[in-house]
Amino acid sequence: MSGRIAVIGLGPGEARYLTPEAAAELEAAEAVYGYGPYLDRVPARAGQSRHASDNREEIARAGSALAHAATGAKVAMVSGGDPGVFAMAAAVIEAIEAGPAEWRGLEVAVVPGITAMLMVAAKAGAPLGHDFCAISLSDNLKPWETVERRLRLAAQAGFAMAFYNPVSKARPWQLDRAFDLLREELPGAVPVIFGRAAGRADEKIVTVPLAGARGDMADMATCILVGTTATRIVARDGLPDLVYTPRRADAERA
Ligand code: SAH
């Protein structure tokens, strides 16, 4: 019998955001692998083993799960949000590419989930209503110079942006540097949305102008959306603002 690995997106938090496909895959798994806090979100099921690991050990975690699947087991690997967005799906496929030939014979299913930027965008209105990009601000897996270059070019190209991994204890100054750089490229009025714990009970969504955006407004549980010069804020009496980026873009300045 050949094994199977499902790389499953759990969505941003609450169970109502878990897709029926992801729930069915979790139910069918004989073993579940993942970062501890994500595993804690998966309801316990009799006969299913659990393998928690540290956040940084992605390739080792992928290798353990693949070796387990290669014994013929149905294995699940869980990620927060979507498994293909700065998460485990790429790590699992990287491990398959570099690993023993038998791992290529495994059945692989990548099960999508609601990623953080889409949850935050939905809560704010439609800030990603036109062209946008997603950038991880972590310099664990790429040089910081690459982050800066991508930020600058994305701003110049008129993309709205979603920032993942905005800060960590090991990266105290990078987010302020990113905002300074964006202020060189974009007007101070561009809306910046800080979405913390989106889709969970302690969710907090705050919008400030780029001129007032500061690194200490975010933590590791925050996804930041930066609008464009076209992004608008619709104010309403006694109701939350609606932030949106119109579906049409004007001809670009030369
Ligand atoms: N695979 C995940 C992203 C993993 S990277 C996804 O698709 O959402 C981890 C980063 O995701 C965090 O630093 C934060 O920027 C963002 N993030 C994850 N869950 C979040 C949530 N509920 N609210 C806001 N940001 C979140």
The pLDDT score that the predictor gives to residue 1 is: 55
Quick check: 3 and 106 in contact, CB under 8 A? yes
Q: If you measure from the C-alpha of residue 71 to the centroid of ligand 1, how many angstroms do you get, rounded to a whole number?
A: 32
Atom of ligand 1 nearest to the CA of 199: 22
Q: CA-based angle 173:176:179, to the nearest 5?
A: 150
Distance 80 CA to ligand 1 centre (A): 7
Mutation pick for ligand 1 pocket among 141, 223, 224 (CB with most ligand atoms within 8 Å): 223
Q: Is the CB of 17 under 6 A from ligand 1?
A: no
Q: For the packed helices 174-185 and 144-157, what is the interaxial angle rounded to 10 degrees?
A: 30
Looking at residue 252, what DSSP letter applies? Answer: P
Q: What number does the ligand 1 atom closest to the CA of 220 have?
A: 13
* Mutate which of 18, 86, 169 for ligand 1 pocket (most atoms within 8 A of beta carbon): 86
Task: Give the end-to-end CA distance of the chain in Å, rounded to a whole number.
Answer: 61
Q: Is any atom of ligand 1 closer than 6 Å to the C-beta of 81?
A: yes
Q: How far is the CA of 134 from the centre of ligand 1 (A)?
A: 11
Task: List alpha helices for 70-173, DSSP H.
Answer: 88-98, 116-124, 144-157
Return the pLDDT at 253: 55
Q: Is 185 helix (H, G, I), strand (E, B) or coil?
A: helix
pLDDT of residue 83: 98
C-beta 80 within 6 A of ligand 1: yes
CB of 129 sitting under 6 A from ligand 1: no
- Tens of pLDDT, residue by residue, the chain (254 residues): 589 999 999 999 999 999 999 999 999 999 999 999 999 989 888 899 999 987 778 899 999 999 999 999 999 999 999 999 999 999 999 999 999 999 999 999 999 999 999 999 999 999 999 999 999 999 989 999 999 999 999 999 999 999 999 999 999 999 999 999 999 999 999 999 999 999 999 999 999 999 999 999 999 999 999 999 999 999 999 999 999 999 988 776 54
Atom of ligand 1 nearest to the CA of 88: 1
Specify the pTM: 0.96
**Tokens 């919008």 sit at which residue?**
207
43 CA from centroid of ligand 1 (Å): 21
What pLDDT does residue 254 have? 45
Distance 197 CA to ligand 1 centre (A): 8
Length of the chain in terms of residues written: 254
Q: Classify residue 157 as left (phi > 0), alpha (psi -120 to 50) or beta.
A: alpha
